[in-house]
Structure 1
């Protein structure tokens, strides 16, 4: 992944869009009685509606484009160690999600999240409703992806596998060239309307508090992962942790597990013989793509906060359980783009939790603002899972071997 300056990064663009949106919303609120102000507000509301419709349309395409090819690749290379690695990544991800859910039910009710703000202004109606229906419901897209991916892998269908791989590249182009450039527009128009209504000045401080709470949760989860890994393997996890600060800081700077991979491998190699060399070669690159515990934890905590903030209540326990279990699956097939986890799981946010365009925009914004630290948690947690892989291989008499033999 090519390095880029912060001013060209997505978080910076979203911050600029957020600031401009708030400024424009406050300005429109001050000239509420003028015809010019109402005309501009009509344009903002209409643009927000159309962009939200476009992103909603892309959600099933993103699900199919990333989940199905991921399954075919894993199925074609399935082996004993790969299955163990997948189980570890999934258990860690949903464990982080359930941890965030419990924390959300325990902490968020004590925060001053009040959806009923007095004196809110009413937004005008959309001038031009360009409705863009999805090609299929999001849950249909999920089950279609799983069934097609598994069937193609079992039948070793080279044609369908090739088509899915090419379709993934097409969807990735749609995401990078259309969806991501559209996100600042959605963010800007959303915060413009929130500022016009009058809620933003009271709700924005809550976002900052929530981000700090989530970062604390990252460190708690990494501590738990390394503790369990040390107990299972019988080795000192501090021999790994002490080598990981460069990978952590690189992840904070790049916001990408892929861009951090070379540094993560170097840090893990310094942890040999605590980590087995073949397990490092196998586990670190694999976990960089499928183990997203930090991002999953963040998204789970944020959806609960946004639900309370916008809709006045937390999602039910039943919905959160389903959301957490499916989010672990979506994370495995998340696209390698900024905010990939929340991007891949937009279908869960809208389909399972029932978020509308405003809720989706808020999720994308606050997720992007802390994406650096979520990625750093993902990358650092990979070392703990690789230690578990090392312990598994030694306990089951699997001889150290080259990467080709492991796969």
Structure 2
């Protein structure tokens, strides 16, 4: 009888719990080992992210034989539109709810906290070959170019050759994600939380910001329900099963605080939700960079909370340019 494998979500939750427990009892020398591991994984993921964007976005756009430019424009418009909606939604909710529990006592608790730092034993100078924006622009140029070449009878052979090259590149990056990045995520999260637990930051942050976190998570859930609801209405399908499938990606994003790190998980979720290969491998890496609903909700809410604690201006006139 084949053993049932433990899913990613249980592994991530176990990583958080184990990290907090280990950080509560381990010595600084042990924590420094975890910090060293965490810094290496972080550098490795940062190195892979631009390559991932080039591989997936280029191949995704290149496979769209017609209408690639229109699809790109539509995706950009939807991504930025939902980002603005999310930021405005977060501002309204934060302004209405936060004053009910943020006061001077909260401010004093924040100011009195001193966070201890633990340095890694050593670091590896692993720098990305190029930054995310450069990778994105390069992917746009190559993807749209391949799509245009394939659509012309005279250059179709060249377009096919270039498309095959980037498809092979994508296959290699996909193997790296499946064999290295995703398996390392639970250990990376455990290492991160062990440091936060050791320094006491996890308890101090939760003691002060637990209500802010709960409200932010509630807003994340509501915006996901809204977005999946819109998609379900357009596709005439029940969005709840698809929303349930999205949970591993949301948990990864919340644990790592990185949209880019969540790309491989989101690609698998999109596959499970029945999104075509060309669309998911084009949209997911692209939107990890430009569709920032979760980040916008969190950044707006935390900014308002800090401004409230310091009796500073948080009017909409101030936040509109920020959003």
One fold, TM greater than 0.5?
yes
Match of 1:301 among 281, 297, 302: 297
Q: Tell me which of the two structures has the higher relative contact order, counting C-alpha pairs closer than 8 angstroms and 6 or more residues apart.
A: 2
For structure 1, which segment, 215-224 or 10-19, has the greater mean C-alpha deviation from structure 2 after superposition? 215-224
2:34 is paired with a residue of what secondary structure?
A: helix
Report the counterpart of residue 22 of structure 1 in structure 2: 20
CA drift of 1:192 comes to 1.1
The answer to whether the Cα contact below 8 Å between 2:83 and 2:293 also exists between their aligned partners in 1 is yes
Residue 273 of structure 2 aligns to a residue in which SS? Answer: helix
Residue 84 of structure 2 corresponds to 98
User: CA-to-partner distance for each residue in 1:9-31, whole Å, 9 max, x for gaps?
Assistant: 22221111111111111223xxx
1:118 CA displacement: 2.9
Aligned to 1:50: 40
Of the candidates 129, 145, 148, which is equivalent to residue 142 of structure 2? 148
For residues 299-355 of structure 1, give each alpha carbon's deviation from its aligned partner in whole angstroms, at most 9, with x where no partner exists.
442455578899x999986675xxxxxxxxxxxxxxxxxxxxxxxxxxxxxxxxxxx
Aligned partner of 1:216 in structure 2 is 222
Give me the whole-angstrom Cα distance separating, in 2, the residues matched to 1:155 and 1:94. Answer: 29
Which of 52, 67, 85 is the matching residue for 1:78?
Answer: 67
- Residues 251, 260 of structure 1: 8 Å contact kept: no
Q: CA deviation at 1:209?
A: 3.1
For residues 78 and 44 of structure 2, the distance between their equivalents in structure 1, rounded to whole angstroms, comes to 33
Counterpart of 2:132 in structure 1 is: 138
Structure 1 residues 165 and 224, CA gap change in structure 2 (3 angstroms)? closer
1:306–1:27 distance in 2 versus 1, CA, 3 Å: farther
Q: TM-score, normalised by structure 1?
A: 0.55
TM-score, length basis structure 2? 0.68
Q: In the aligned structure 1, how far is the partner of 2:191 from the partner of 2:302? A: 17
Kept in 1, the 8 Å contact 2:196–2:202? The answer is yes
Specify every segment of 5 or more residues in structure 2 that has no aligned partner in the other structure, as ranges: 151-158, 248-268
- For the aligned residue pairs, the C-alpha RMSD in angstroms reads 3.9
**What's the secondary structure of 1:19's corresponding residue?**
helix
> Shift of the alpha carbon at 1:123?
1.8
Contact kept, 8 Å, 1:93 with 1:296, in 2: the verdict is yes
Match of 1:8, SS state, is coil
* Distance (Å, rounded) in 2 between the aligned partners of 1:226 and 1:47: 41
Unaligned runs of 5+ in 1: 29-36, 230-236, 262-283, 321-407
